[in-house]
A and B are shown apart, each in its own frame.
Chain A
Amino acid sequence: MDTFAALAHGMAIAVQPMNLLYALIGVFLGTAVGVLPGIGPALTVALLLPVTYKLDPGGSLIMFAGIYYGGMYGGSTTAILINTPGESASMATALEGNKMAKAGRGGPALATSAIGSFVAGTIATIGLAFLSPYLVDIAVRFGPEDYFALMCVAFVTVSATFGDSPVRGLTSLFIGLTLGLVGIDKLTGQARLAFGVPELLDGVEVTTLAVGLFAVGEALYVASRRHHTEEKIEAVKGSLWMTREDWKRSWKPWLRGTAFGFPIGALPAGGAEIPTFLSYSTEKRLTKYPEQFGKGAIEGVAGPEAANNASAAGTLVPLLTLGLPTSATAAMMLAGFQQYGLNPGPLLFAERPDLVWGLIASLFIANTMLLVLNLPLVGLWVRLLKIPTPWLYAGILVFATMGTIAAKPSVVELSMLAGFGVLGFLMRRFDFPIAPVVVGLILGPIAESQLRRALAISLGDPMTLLQSPISATLLVVALIALIAPFILKGLGRFKANED
């Protein structure tokens, strides 16, 4: 089996002492930043990107794997202990987990979430390792028109299909696409939307946009409504360990959550919200203790947490094999690749197998480290949660601006960061989703160049998009995904019912 050999080779790379150290630092930093309230995994990755600037690509991607999983784990700790999910995918966890913490069962809630994440992450990473070579085989047959059509599917599903409002989702996407136009056009060398400002010729940096929207925007938003909220950290009382009963009630939700999370994450549909809420409603239906749901049922933590982690590993499938990010976090990972001039996709598997398989192997290692590190260190994470809000957000902003200052210490770049912060604030206030902006910025230019390449090959005949069966099918899928939410008026309605 090729996969086994490749994975074994990746494992050999990942267990080199330096790489183990990178993974450890990544896991530690990822959890430490991810545990801070209001910081989801996407922002964790964005904030920590500058830290990896000076490393070699292999080491940096391995650190990334740790940051990715660490950020996710940190987010669920926050969701359980203070009921502020850093991202919508942790909402189900916050629902039951915070109730468990209030009832003095914070320890088992954290444990089932940690072990469930480990189980789901491991199974999903195995899935990633075995599924990727097949997808790569398919992906090499993709022409530019097929890639363009695939990106159309991603655009629509990320922005319109699963959100609360397709209009607001698409608006976010088009803001991102507009930002993606800024700079020198790669095919002709013409400047677009640069308005004579030299700094704009390089285009909008993904990290500047993400940190501005997520970190600065969040700080402005939380500051603007601090009179409305009062956060209460639940102390971790009693035993950290799960009882026999807890284990018995957790293992099936873990596996079912994984079964929801991985396939949905691996589809170019994006988002961990759908599998987590599917898992939550399934567990609610199957449980022997329905009366506990809404009051702290362990199944309601175990299932969604597993689904969340499995879908996170699932989103790496389209990212690594097709270069297609389907979540804000995946878009940040793509930015991480791009800072080394690496483009994920079938070519990367052929050209840099050491890198890809080293990364996949590191996911296993990061996952194991998290399990070993996090439960014993939970006291440390809780202490991080106790940082007073003013200092916490002041520190976040200092760290957020540091990334931009280190990358490009120019007035224009910092003004853009502040401007994106205001944009992020307004988008939060008026309930526009943020992830489509980031995905639009990063995928827009790629989609455009694929489309233009396809049209150049066909000598300008747009019918080439419909003549390729792959492209035609994908475009129909995109069209259905675009129209469906308007007809069904909210596929996301089941979300509202669960709240």
Chain B
Amino acid sequence: MTTESAGAEPPSRGIDKAGIVIAGLLAAVALVLVYDANQIPATTMYGMGPQVMPVVIAIGLGILALANLIDAVRGNLPPRESADPVAVLLILAGLALLIAIIGFGGGFILATTALFVTTSAAFGRRAFVTDLVIGAVLTTLIYLAFDRLLTLSLPAGPLERLL
């Protein structure tokens, strides 16, 4: 069960800064929508062209930004527990590694093994070598099963060419 007492922030009725950031982001997206819609050349046709819907959605987002802002100022956001930034950053680093390895042609096994090891470290594992071996075996099996048996095309790198 959750231990509410340990990391829970007090249920403040004050201004929620994160909520204001959310409202700001929504407003920014609305502006991007309007800007992008203005780039679309007007076409002559009956009814509505492709630029109308973005503007309608932008108006909706603008109203919702305001509503979220009101919620944030009133402190109406649900309480949050403290988060562990290291764990989140580790997984994101794993995803970045995966994208880089795929981008540079390192292949499926190398890329997903990197993600496996960082994720498992994010969840508190410190046995780096063990996880590396488990990750490599698991992803090799997945590669063989899906690339060879189910003929999905997974990107091949130096390791895959050895198989």
Residues of chain A whose beta carbon lies under 8 Å from any beta carbon of chain B: 50-51, 53-54, 164-165, 167-168, 170-171, 174-175, 177-178, 181, 185, 187-188, 190, 192-193, 195, 216, 219-220, 222-230, 389-391, 393-395, 397-399, 401-402, 405-406, 409, 411, 414-415, 417-418, 421-422, 425, 429-431, 448, 451-452, 454-456, 458-460
Contact = CB atoms under 8 A, between A and B. Distances in A.
Q: How large is the interface on B (under 10, 10 to 19, 20 to 34, 35 or more residues)?
A: 35 or more
Contacts of A394: 115-117, 119-120, 123, 131, 135
A395 B115 CA distance: 9
B120 A54 contact: no
Contacts of A230: 1
Nearest to B76: A165
Contacts of B78: 164, 430-431
11 contacts: A178-B29, A193-B36, A216-B95, A219-B119, A220-B91, A390-B125, A394-B116, A394-B131, A398-B142, A401-B115, A429-B83
B64 A391 contact: no
A219 B95 CA distance: 12
B40 A192 contact: yes
A336 B78 CA distance: 35
Interface string B53-89: 1100100110010011001000001101111110110
Closest 9 CB pairs of A and B: A455-B47, A390-B123, A223-B87, A390-B120, A185-B50, A394-B119, A224-B83, A406-B152, A394-B120
Contacts of A51: 146, 150
Contacts of A190: 40-41, 43, 50
A452 B7 contact: no
Given A188-B49, A223-B87, A224-B84, 15 more contacts: A167-B64, A177-B60, A181-B53, A228-B2, A390-B122, A391-B134, A394-B131, A395-B138, A401-B111, A402-B108, A405-B154, A406-B146, A429-B80, A451-B48, A458-B47
A422 B94 CA distance: 13
A421 B119 CA distance: 13
B18 A174 contact: no
Contact of A459 (B7, B46, B82, B83): B46
A216 B45 CA distance: 42
B110 interface: no
B155 interface: yes
A430 B80 CA distance: 7
B83 A225 contact: yes
Contacts of B49: 188
A456 B152 contact: no
Given A193-B36, A228-B7, A397 B50 contact: no
A238 to B, nearest CB: 24
Contacts of B102: 405, 409, 411, 414
Given A223-B84, A227-B84, A167 B50 contact: no
B96 interface: yes
A213 B6 CA distance: 28
A422 B96 CA distance: 12
Interface string B24-43: 00100100110011001101
A222 B121 CA distance: 13
A77 B142 CA distance: 26
A391 B87 contact: no
A118 to B, nearest CB: 30
Nearest to B53: A448
Contacts of B151: 54
B60 A226 contact: no
Contacts of A460: 46-48
Contacts of A429: 80, 83
- Main SS of chain B's interface residues? helix
Given A193-B36, A229-B2, A397 B154 contact: no
A428 to B, nearest CB: 10
A215 to B, nearest CB: 11
Contacts of A456: 45-47
A409 B92 contact: no
A223 B121 CA distance: 10
B158 interface: no
A225 B99 contact: no
A226 B84 contact: yes
Given A190-B40, A192-B50, A405-B155, A228 B99 contact: no
Given A192-B54, A228-B6, A398-B139, A409 B123 contact: no
Contacts of B54: 181, 192-193
Interface in B1-17: 1-3, 6-7
A398 B116 contact: yes
Nearest to B98: A401
A164 B121 CA distance: 35
B116 A50 contact: no
A393 B119 contact: yes
A384 to B, nearest CB: 15
A223 B88 contact: yes
Contacts of A192: 36-37, 40, 50, 54
Contacts of B142: 398-399, 402
Contact of A225 (B81, B111, B125): B81
A414 B67 CA distance: 33
Contacts of A411: 99, 102-103
Contacts of A185: 50
Contacts of A177: 57, 60
Contacts of B53: 181, 448
Contacts of A174: 26, 57, 60-61, 64
A154 to B, nearest CB: 16
Contacts of A454: 47
A445 B6 CA distance: 45
A430 B154 contact: no
B159 interface: no
A388 B88 CA distance: 19
